[in-house]
Amino acid sequence: AQKITQTQPGMFVQEKEAVTLDCTYDTSDQSYGLFWYKQPSSGEMIFLIYQGSYDEQNATEGRYSLNFQKARKSANLVISASQLGDSAMYFCAMREGAGAGSYQLTFGKGTKLSVIP
Amino acid sequence: EPEVTQTPSHQVTQMGQEVILRCVPISNHLYFYWYRQILGQKVEFLVSFYNNEISEKSEIFDDQFSVERPDGSNFTLKIRSTKLEDSAMYFCASSPQSAQETQYFGPGTRLLVL
């Protein structure tokens, strides 16, 4: 089974509108972290936002917010007031595990967001 | 703002040749990672490194791969004998004092094996 599922290969949004990118995850760990990264066409991976499994409140970073629904195992990214520069691939990722050691990230297949002027 | 840097940005090599990809993690970070992304596919974990040794590796990271931290700043990935299927974008990442913290990625090295 996929650990991270992003069901939207591509999305379009009108400039200045809000958009939600879906992400569901699968883990049996109690402690885990969820991340969103943006990958523009230039290729770099830009960290956007993080949500810990024990965080009571949804994470927010500027125009980005994470709609965390633990019971549904979903961690959707909401981008408000879309800008042309938001056009990119967006990846949801999960870090599992608690305790000492390394914590690899497992990524979803990504959603390509296109912002229309 | 401190950032992870990677060199070269692009590398073209012949099949069977050795390549070394270089990374300079953020200076006070303790955990280091390599990931790869084959064109059009998702990002895949290769290896993590902490306290001068490999702490975790994926099944992709076979004997032709190795990592090293030769000095206090550089972190390298060596592919001993490249194959066509090694063509990918390779990302280095680092995280601060705890592996539970955010991993910050470098800009990547695009490797093309001919």
| Number of Cα atoms under 13 Å in the Cβ half of residue B71 | 5
Q: Which residue of B has its CA nearest to A6?
A: B42
Could you tell me which residues come within 8 angstroms of residue B11 by beta carbon, excluding any fewer than 6 positions away?
B19, B21, B109, B110, B111, B112
Chain B residue closest to A34 (CA)? B102
Name the residue of chain A whose CA is nearest to B42's CA. A109
pLDDT of residue A17: 97
pLDDT of res. A78 = 98
Contacts of A95 in chain B (CB under 8 A): 100
* Chain segment A92-111, per-residue pLDDT in tens: 999 987 555 567 899 999 99
Helix (H) / strand (E) element for B32: namely strand B31-37
**Mean pLDDT, residues B64-87 taken together:** 94
B48 close contact with A: CB closer than 8 A: yes
Tokens of A114: 């296109």
Task: Please indicate whether, in this complex, the C-beta atoms of B103 and A110 are within 8 angstroms of each other.
Answer: no
3-state secondary structure of B42: coil
Q: Is B99 within 8 Å of A101 when comparing Cβ atoms?
A: yes
- Among B75, B74, B29, B36, residue whose Cα is nearest residue B54: B75
Angle at CA A13, nearest 5°, toward A10 and A16? 150
